[in-house]
Structure 1
Amino acid sequence: MAPLYYFIALLTITLLVLLSGHRRRRRRHLNLPPTIPNSLPIIGHLHLIFRQPHQPLHRTLTSLSSTYGPILHLHFGSRPVLIVSSPSAAEECLTTNDIIFANRPLLLSAKYLGFNHSILGAAPYGPYWRNLRRIATIELLSTSRIVSLARIRAEETRSLLRSLFSTAAADRWNLAEMKTSIKNLSLNTMMRMVDGEKYYDERFWLMVEDAFKLSGSSSVEDFVPWITWFGVAATKRRMMRLGKELDERFQMMVDERRRRRRSVVEEKTLVDVMLALQEEEPERYSDEIIKGMLWVLIAAGTESSSGTMEWALSLLLNHPKTLQKARDEIDFHVGRDRLITDSDLPHLHYLQNIIKETLRLYPAGPLLVPHYSSTDCTVEGYNIPGGTMLLINVYAIQRDPKLWKEAESFKPERFDEGEGSEGFQFFPFGSGRRKCPGEVMANRMMGMTLGALVQCFEWERVGEEMVDLSEGEGLTLPKLFPLEIKYKPREVMMNVLSQL
C-alpha cells in the first residue's frame, strides 16, 4: 500500500504543478484583475498569508492592497480569490452582481460549525436560504419582536450595573476586567431572548469563542485539501469535535424547550416561535434548521456586540473629552434620576456616532463573510470567473485616507459632517441580500449597554499609558488584550444605582 500511496501523492503534485502552469497561460487570455507576483505552485499566494501567522488576515490583505491595488485576483491554493478594498468595486459586487455573489464558498467552518452549511450565514443562495432569511427578518428579528424584547435587554443591563455597583467602593477607584462582564451580559441577553434562560456555563461561552476563532482563522485545509493525506488536519479535527459538541448542546436546548411548552405556560421565546412553525410545517422546519438558527442568533448576537462594546469603551478611555461629551448628552436628554431606556436612544445622536465610529475603526466583520460567484461576471471592467471566492475588506475601506479625514483617528463628530454617507464607504454589517439581519438588534443592545455604563460610572485608564488597541485573530476582530479599567459610581447617580 505504501508505494501506491506515494505514487498517488506524486501524481497529484504533478497534476497541480501542471494546473498552475495552465492557470498562468489562462490569465494571459482573460482580462483578470491585477495579481501579485511570486505565486507558487500548489499553494498559490498562501505563503503571503501565512508569512506573518499572528497578524490578522484583514491586516495582511490591507497591506497587500495598499501595495498592489484595491482589486486583486489571487489564488489561495486551488481557490481563485477576489480581494476588494475600494467602495466602487464593493458596490458593484453587492449591487450589480448581488445575485451572482450571493453564494457562500464551501469552507470547513461552514460544514462542521455551520450544521453542514445549513445555517443562515453559510447556506447556498436559493429557496432554502430565502426561507431562512424570511424566518430571521419576519419571525425573529422584526421591529415588533425587537421592541417586545426590550425588557430583557433592560434587565440584563441593570444586572451588569448592579454587579459593578455592589463590588465598588464609592470613595475610591475600583478595578474591573470588562471583557468578561460585557460578554456575560451579551450572552445572557441573547440566551434569554432565545431560550428564556440565563447561562452560567463557562464551557458554553468558550464554545462560542472557539467557534469564532476557528471560523476567522486562515485554515490551510480549506485551500489545499489534499494536505490532510499527510496527517495535517489539526484545524479540521478541532472543528469536528466542537461541531459535535455544539450539535448536542443545541439539541438538548430544543428538546427541553419542547418538553416545557407542553407542561408550562411561559413567556414566548424565539425557540417557541421556531417550534410553533415546526408544528405547522414539520417537513419545512426540522430540528437541524432550528438548531442552526439558534446558533446564529446566539453566537453572532453575543460575539459581535460584546466585542464592539469593549472596543468602544477602550476608545473612550483614550479620549476622555469624547467620554464627557457623551455623558453630558445623556444627562441632558435622560437626566440623573432614572436609567437610560430603549426609547431614549433615538435622541442620543452623539452616542450613536460613537458606536458608528467604533464600527468604522473596528468592524465586527472586517472582511465580511466570504461570498462566492455562481457564474462569470465583470467587476470594474475585469473578468471574474465563476467559482471565485470574494473577500470584501471593509476594514481597509473604512480606514482609507482617500475617503476619510484623519482616517486612523477616533472622531465621532465626523458622522454629523456627512462623512461616510456616500456610496459604500461605511457598511460594517455588509450590504445586499447577504447583509446581516441583526443590525437593528445589535445597535439597540450596544446603545443601551454603553449608554448605561457612561451614565452611571466614572471611568479611567488603569495607568497613565493609553489603552492598548492591538487586534487579535478571529472572525469578529477581538481585542488582543482584555480591557482592564478603573471605575467608580457617579455621585449624582448613587440614588438610582442603590435602587437597582
Structure 2
Amino acid sequence: MRWFGNKGAEKLMEIHEKRDRFMQDLIQGHRERKFDASSKGREKTMIEVLLSLHETEPEYYTDETIRGLIVVLFQAGSDTSVGTMEWAISHLLNNPQILKKAQTEIDNHVGHNRLFAESDVGELPYLNCIITETLRMNPPAPFLVPHESSEECTVGGFRIPSGTMLMVNVWGIQNDPKVWVDPDKFMPERFEGPEGTKNGFKLMPFGSGRRGCPGENLAMRMVGLAVGSLLQCFDWERISKELVDMTEGTAVTMSKATPLMAKCQPRAAATGLLSLLN
C-alpha cells in the first residue's frame, strides 16, 4: 500500500467502501424480491442461490461472504477469461495442426446446421484439453491469490509461522520440467484419456480445496463456448509467417506482452450460421 501513498490508499479505501455498499444494496434488493409473488417460477440469480444457502448455513454464508463471492465473479471472471481465450487462440495459430483437429471435432459433434452451444462444451474432450493445456502454460493468476497460514507448520523443511502471507507460484509448478514432459511445448494430448486430468497438485490454475476459485466451472464453460464458437465459424491464420509472440506481460494476471493480432475469414460451411447472428 506504500506504493500508492497516503492519498492513494485513502482513495482505494473509499472505492472499497463504495463497492461494498453497492453489493450490499444488491443483496438487500434480492432479499426483498424473494417475497415478491411475480418472482415465482423463474430461474434464480447467483445472489438468490447464495441467499438460499444462507438459510441452511448462516454461520458461513454471511452477507460479507456473499459480497466477497460476487466481487470475485465480477472482477476475476472477466479479464482472466478474456486473457485465457487470447492465449488459447495464440497457441492454436502457432500450432495449425491442433487448430484443424479441434475444428474437425467440432464439425463432427455440432455439425453445420446450428451454432455452437454451451451444452456442447462438455461433449468435446479435445477442445477441453486445449483449454486445460492453455491454463497449464499460461495460468490467469500465476501466483494465485494471497493465502495466510492459519497455524504454524513446516513445508519442505521451512518453518511457516502462523499468520504468514503465502504466495503459490502455480506458474512455476505447471511449467516445471521435473514435473512435466516438455513443459514448453503446447501439447493438449497430454490431458487425453481418463488419467489426463488426475494431476493432483501439479495442475491447479484455479487453486485447490475450499479456497479454490468458485468460478472454475463457469470459466471453463464460458471460455470453451467462446473458443469453440470462433473455431466453428472462422478459419484463422497468422498475420505473417512469423510465429505469434508468446511473451508474457507484467501484471497481476497473466496477459500477453503484445496483444494478439490475427486474420480470420468465415468458413464456407458456416456462412449460413453467421447469418443467424444478425
TM-score over 0.5 for the pair = yes
* Structure 1, unpaired ranges of 5+: 1-218, 222-230
Per the TM alignment, residue 259 of structure 1 is displaced from its structure 2 partner at its CA by 6.1
* 1:137 equivalent in structure 2: none
Per the TM alignment, residue 286 of structure 1 is displaced from its structure 2 partner at its CA by 6.0
Q: Does the C-alpha gap of structure 1 residues 293 and 435 become closer, same or farther in structure 2, counting only changes over 3 Å?
A: closer
Q: Distance in 1 between matches of 2:245 and 2:203?
A: 25
Alpha-carbon contact 1:404-1:419 (below 8 Å) kept: no
Q: Distance in 1 between matches of 2:181 and 2:117?
A: 33
* Structure 2, unpaired ranges of 5+: none
Q: Does the C-alpha gap of structure 1 residues 425 and 373 become closer, same or farther in structure 2, counting only changes over 3 Å?
A: same
* 2:153 equivalent in structure 1: 377
* 1:454 equivalent in structure 2: 231
Tell me the secondary structure at the aligned position of residue 326 of structure 1. Answer: helix
Q: Does the C-alpha gap of structure 1 residues 271 and 485 become closer, same or farther in structure 2, counting only changes over 3 Å?
A: same
Per the TM alignment, residue 488 of structure 1 is displaced from its structure 2 partner at its CA by 1.8
2:128 pairs, out of 331, 352, 355, with: 352
* 2:172 equivalent in structure 1: 396
Alpha-carbon contact 1:278-1:286 (below 8 Å) kept: yes
Q: Distance in 1 between matches of 2:51 and 2:197?
A: 41
> Are positions 1:434 and 2:211 aligned together?
yes
Q: Distance in 1 between matches of 2:217 and 2:22?
A: 28
Q: Distance in 1 between matches of 2:23 and 2:134?
A: 32
Alpha-carbon contact 1:363-1:394 (below 8 Å) kept: yes
> Are positions 1:299 and 2:75 aligned together?
yes
Q: Deviations over 1:150-194 (max 9, x none)?
A: xxxxxxxxxxxxxxxxxxxxxxxxxxxxxxxxxxxxxxxxxxxxx
> Are positions 1:318 and 2:94 aligned together?
yes
Alpha-carbon contact 1:404-1:420 (below 8 Å) kept: no
Greater Cα shift, 233-242 or 343-352: 233-242
Per the TM alignment, residue 443 of structure 1 is displaced from its structure 2 partner at its CA by 1.2
Q: What TM-score does the superposition give when structure 1 sets the normalisation length?
A: 0.49
Alpha-carbon contact 2:69-2:214 (below 8 Å) kept: no
Q: Distance in 2 between matches of 1:358 and 1:451?
A: 14
Q: What TM-score does the superposition give when structure 2 sets the normalisation length?
A: 0.83
What count of residue pairs does the alignment treat as equivalent? 273
Q: Distance in 2 between matches of 1:440 and 1:399?
A: 23
List aligned pairs for 1:13-92, cutoff 5 A: none
> Are positions 1:412 and 2:188 aligned together?
yes
Alpha-carbon contact 1:377-1:383 (below 8 Å) kept: yes
Q: Does the C-alpha gap of structure 1 residues 463 and 384 become closer, same or farther in structure 2, counting only changes over 3 Å?
A: same
Q: Distance in 2 between matches of 1:469 and 1:235?
A: 34
User: RCO greater where, 1 or 2, for CA within 8 Å and sep 6 or more?
Assistant: 1
Tell me the secondary structure at the aligned position of residue 424 of structure 1. Answer: helix
List aligned pairs for 1:264-279, cutoff 5 A: 264-265=38-39, 267-275=43-51
Per the TM alignment, residue 255 of structure 1 is displaced from its structure 2 partner at its CA by 5.3
Per the TM alignment, residue 246 of structure 1 is displaced from its structure 2 partner at its CA by 2.0
Q: Does the C-alpha gap of structure 1 residues 499 and 433 become closer, same or farther in structure 2, counting only changes over 3 Å?
A: closer
CA RMSD of aligned residues (A): 3.1
* 1:472 equivalent in structure 2: 249
* 1:242 equivalent in structure 2: 15
Q: Distance in 2 between matches of 1:399 and 1:239?
A: 35
